[in-house]
Amino acid sequence: MNIDTTHDHHMHSVFSDGSSSIEALADAAVKKGLSRITITDHMPLPFDTRYAMAENHIAAYRASVGTTREKYIGRLDIDMGIEMEYVPEYQSWMDSILDTGWEVAIISVHRLMVNDTYRMVNGTVEEFDLLLQGFNMDIQALYRAYYKTAQAAFETGRFDIAGHLDVLKKHNVNQTYFDESDPVYRDLVLETLDTIRNQGMKMEINMGGFNHPVGEQYPSRWIIREAVNRRIPIVLSSDSHCPDTLGQHFDRAAEMVRKKGAISAD
């Protein structure tokens, strides 16, 4: 399987929780030798978050992508994308955002509903602990809820790329919270990969995890191997929130896919 290391599929600007303008991301991409980028700021949500785009900024966001795309014609291709957060309780809200029209839609699970309260999956370690407490410290129940929510998101058929598939391991350093060899965990992951394949979606290798406590890509190597075995198309993403990390570790990710037979099961 060939992987395009010159296309970064996932990044954020000041329109959501990034630190720079769309034009600054484009300028950095050219300097780094990328040929294509997909801008994917976080979708607006009908409740307050520290990372989502404001609803009344969608038009300006789209205009900024369009203007930057025109400016970089011949030097860089730019896709107008968005990272959607799957919140099943707000399906009509998500549909209204999707119906605006996007060239690429990444779908991710960032939070779960617990006791009528949204708790972050990939926030701080304190937020993850609160999430786990909401599941009465039952980690199997937590990751079952996470992957079943992801499967439901993919089954809507409205999305192109599965985002940071196993991001719930963000703080799972040295398998502190759960063991990925747990058959229950593995079966849930494999079910989820089958859903991605059946929906004709792509899966990203998200290199943002190298900047997180876990210190590795999302998803784990064994999941990448299983995805390749299922012939799920793989794309590379930096999940950058600043220009410096665009295209980070892409050569390493491509090697993981090319040598899938050498990817260990750890």
Report the run of H or E that residue 82 belongs to, with start and end.
Answer: strand 77-85
Residue of higher predicted confidence among 264 and 173: 173
* pLDDT band, residue 123 (cuts 50/70/90): very high
Omega prior to 213 cis, within 30 of 0: no
Residue tagged 């747990």 (tokens): 182
Contact 97, 82 (CB under 8 A): yes
Residue 118 has pLDDT above 90, yes or no: yes
Beta-carbon contacts of residue 58 (< 8 Å; ≥ 6 apart)? 44, 97, 100
Residue 133, in any domain of the structure: yes
Average pLDDT over residues 162-175: 97
Question: pLDDT digits over 125-135, tens only?
Answer: 999 999 999 99
User: What is the rounded distance in angstroms from the CA atom of residue 229 to the CA atom of residue 217?
Assistant: 19
User: What is the rounded distance in angstroms from the CA atom of residue 60 to the CA atom of residue 207?
Assistant: 28
What CATH number is attached to the domain comprising 52? 3.20.20.140
Q: Whose CA is closest to 219, among 144, 167, 155?
A: 167
Question: pLDDT digits over 51-81, tens only?
Answer: 999 999 999 999 999 999 999 999 999 999 9
Residue 218, in any domain of the structure: yes
Decide: helix, strand or coil at residue 130: helix
User: What is the rounded distance in angstroms from the CA atom of residue 201 to the CA atom of residue 252?
Assistant: 23
Residue 257 has pLDDT above 90, yes or no: no
Residue 265 has pLDDT above 50, yes or no: no
Side chain identity at residue 64, one-letter code: S
User: What is the rounded distance in angstroms from the CA atom of residue 34 to the CA atom of residue 44?
Assistant: 28
Contact 120, 127 (CB under 8 A): yes
Q: Angle, nearest 10°, between helix axes 183-198 and 221-229? A: 40
pLDDT number for residue 260: 60
pLDDT number for residue 258: 81
Average pLDDT, the chain: 95
pLDDT number for residue 256: 86
User: What is the rounded distance in angstroms from the CA atom of residue 171 to the CA atom of residue 122?
Assistant: 8
Q: Which of 141-145, 229-233, 261-265 has the lowest mean pLDDT?
A: 261-265
Question: How many helices (H) does the chain have, and how many strands (E)?
Answer: 8, 9
User: What is the rounded distance in angstroms from the CA atom of residue 178 to the CA atom of residue 172?
Assistant: 7
Residue 1 has pLDDT above 90, yes or no: no
Task: Find the domain containing 203 and state its range.
Answer: 7-260
Question: pLDDT digits over 4-54, tens only?
Answer: 999 999 999 999 999 999 999 999 999 999 999 999 999 999 988 999 999
Side chain identity at residue 139, one-letter code: I
User: What is the rounded distance in angstroms from the CA atom of residue 227 to the CA atom of residue 210?
Assistant: 20
Q: How many domains does the chain have?
A: 1
Residue 264 has pLDDT above 50, yes or no: no
* pLDDT band, residue 266 (cuts 50/70/90): very low
Task: Take residue 245 and report the two structure tokens written for it.
Answer: 């990390």
pLDDT number for residue 263: 41
